[in-house]
Amino acid sequence: MDGWMDGTKRNIPGSLVSPSHTSIGRVFDVLEATWNTVLLSRDKVLHAYLHFEAITAHDYKFSCVNCGSFPPIVIMDLHKQTPCLFSMPVSDVEEVPEDYTGELNIEEFWDSISMEMIARGLILSNRKNPFTVPPSYHFWAPWIGRGTRNSNTVLNTEFLKVKSDIKITEDRIINELMKLEMNELRKRCNECRVDAKGSHFDLMLRIRTKMKNRQVYDKLVEKIWGASGGFAVIMCPCGVVYSLKSNIRADGPRDFADMLLAWTHLPNVSLYDSAHDLVNHTNLREAENVPFQPHEGRLAPPTAENIQAAKNQTLTIHLPWLLERNGENETGGSHPSTGSSHHYVLCDELHGPTSKEEKDLLRRSVLFLS
């Protein structure tokens, strides 16, 4: 097995940590087809690699070569393919201690994950792993790079989602369903006895109509919030991941706010499909020192003239400091790469503004030029 791990016997390590980001499964398919043979169990090789990584002392210097430790622009999205989801009854999650504040030590959490991986490679398959880390609200940390976070103490306020579940709206359910792949959406339709034939748009229209029925509404809430929320990901435009969180419950602005508030320097431009929700949530949490400003994270003041210009697609906002750093830092919270203290939250053109307020047209990313 050493030859598989260090590459001294075969040129395999690229299949495990591919510089071209090719999945392990695809590389195995190519190797088996090329050699006309069946290789070792893919799960065993993956577990062996994770075991190797867990017992290796790494000199951690992770960041994008272009964006550094503090990218001025980030893209935030949810990875919710089936392998990233797990279902577990809420009753199986340990209750949060009364004195829990949402803060925890990120190093302690990930060291415990490493211990679980190490033990997995040493314990017989029929034995219980004593180092298993079960999902819990009070011991469940995101991953944030050491050079990016402001300390080893990070936030995980996911336990507060439980108190807000009663506020689930039809629009929120529709937004969650729109993120699903076609096969998953058809599965939800079948579970709710909705005709699963036709295009993605056809299915969404039928579901929205059926949701007037309280039983269908409750069924969708159970299915969406009964499963984990996938992975919340923050990455730079180059595709390098700076923060990652496995959500126990369905994702929301809270997950991304927890990660961003643990960063030493907030990005100047954050792209997120529910931009207005993220701003409202984060600015309320940090009311004494509002993170997203000016104009509540919009690119321009929400005047009637600016809104109309945004509608007519004649409004253009220049952010020259994205290309050339400001000569002098602006007062308070200036970003080390740009020298700007402005922090905007925008939505990309694929999703568009999800808010029904016209002033949030000023969050369209197409409006700004560097």
Give 32-77 pLDDT, tens digit per residue. Answer: 889 888 877 777 777 788 888 888 887 777 788 899 999 999 999 8
Question: Residue 2: its pLDDT value, please?
Answer: 31
Q: Positive or negative CA dihedral for 208, 181, 271, 223?
A: positive
CA distance 37 to 17: 22
**Per-residue confidence (pLDDT) for residue 86, from 0 to 100:** 58
- The DSSP annotation for 31-59 comes to HHHHHTS--S-HHHHHHHHHHHHHTS---
> Can you tell me whether residue 90 is helix, strand or coil?
helix
Q: What residues of the chain score a pLDDT lower than 50?
A: 1-20, 165-166
| Other C-beta atoms lying within 10 Å of the C-beta of residue 314 | 8
The string of pLDDT tens digits covering residues 246-304 is 888 776 789 999 999 999 999 999 999 889 989 999 999 999 999 999 999 999 999 99
Q: Measuring CA to CA, which residue among 104, 80, 113 is closest to residue 158?
A: 104
pLDDT of residue 12: 31
CA distance 236 to 71: 6
User: Residue 148 burial (CB < 10 Å; 0-12/13-18/19+)?
Assistant: buried
pLDDT score recorded for residue 340: 92
- How far apart are the C-alpha atoms of 213 and 240, rounded to whole Å? 43
pLDDT of residue 301: 94
Q: C-alpha dihedral over 320, 322, 326, 331, to 10 degrees?
A: 110
Domain boundaries in the chain? Answer: 2-54, 71-106+132-264, 270-369
Rounded to an integer, what distance in angstroms lies between the CA atom of residue 157 and that of residue 140?
Answer: 10
H-run or E-run covering 16: helix 13-16
In our burial notation (b when 16+ CB lie closer than 10 A, e otherwise), range 45-78 reads beebbbbbebeeeeeeeebbeebebbbbbbbbbb
pLDDT for 94 = 74
The 3-state DSSP class for residue 123 equals: coil
